[in-house]
């Protein structure tokens, strides 16, 4: 399981297309990080021997499958039905467990007109929880020292 921490880019959507990421800023960043980790391209790892060693190592530790928890898609969003509201309220108190116990991928990119990642209380809390749990090393190594 990989937990994703990200700043929503607007109230009604967590992702928007950009010139550099036409499928969405979040999706583009997530795809780049996951591809580099699970299946680096020739541009990312020029050495064929290292790419083969990487592939064999991944196969030895369980293969290529991963479950990604992305809150916007994983929890009911507004507007919610009464049943969805109950599910949301049951899940919310346990969200910190995802960031404390599972590798966390920080997607810190925002649009120029958006507030930064650390300016969001939710993001700051998720980051600090993942940092205290030692869950930033694998997918967010640049965030470990922040």
Which pLDDT tens digit goes with each residue over 30-51?
A: 988 888 777 766 666 667 777 6
**pLDDT tens per residue across span 111-133:** 888 889 999 999 999 999 999 99
- What's the Cα-to-Cα distance from 139 to each of 12, 24, 53, 89, 105, rounded to whole Å? 27, 19, 19, 28, 5
Q: How far apart are CA 38 and CA 92, in angstroms?
A: 30
Per-residue model confidence as pLDDT tens digits over 67-83: 899 988 889 988 999 99
**92-115 pLDDT, tens per residue?**
999 999 999 999 999 999 988 888
């Amino acid at each position: 399981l990989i937990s994703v921490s990200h700043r929503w880019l607007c109230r009604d959507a967590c992702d928007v297309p950009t010139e550099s990421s036409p499928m969405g800023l979040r999706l583009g960043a997530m795809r780049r990080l996951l591809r580099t980790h699970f299946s680096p391209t020739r541009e990312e790892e020029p050495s064929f021997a290292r790419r083969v060693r990487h592939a064999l190592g991944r196969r030895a530790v369980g293969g290529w499958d991963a479950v990604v928890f992305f809150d916007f898609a994983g929890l009911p969003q507004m507007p919610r039905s009464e049943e969805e509201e109950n599910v949301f309220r049951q899940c919310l108190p346990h969200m910190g467990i995802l960031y404390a116990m599972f590798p966390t991928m920080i997607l810190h990119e925002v649009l120029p007109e958006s507030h930064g990642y650390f300016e969001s209380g939710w993001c700051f809390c998720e980051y600090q929880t993942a940092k205290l749990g030692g869950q930033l090393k694998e997918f967010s190594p640049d965030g470990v020292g922040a």
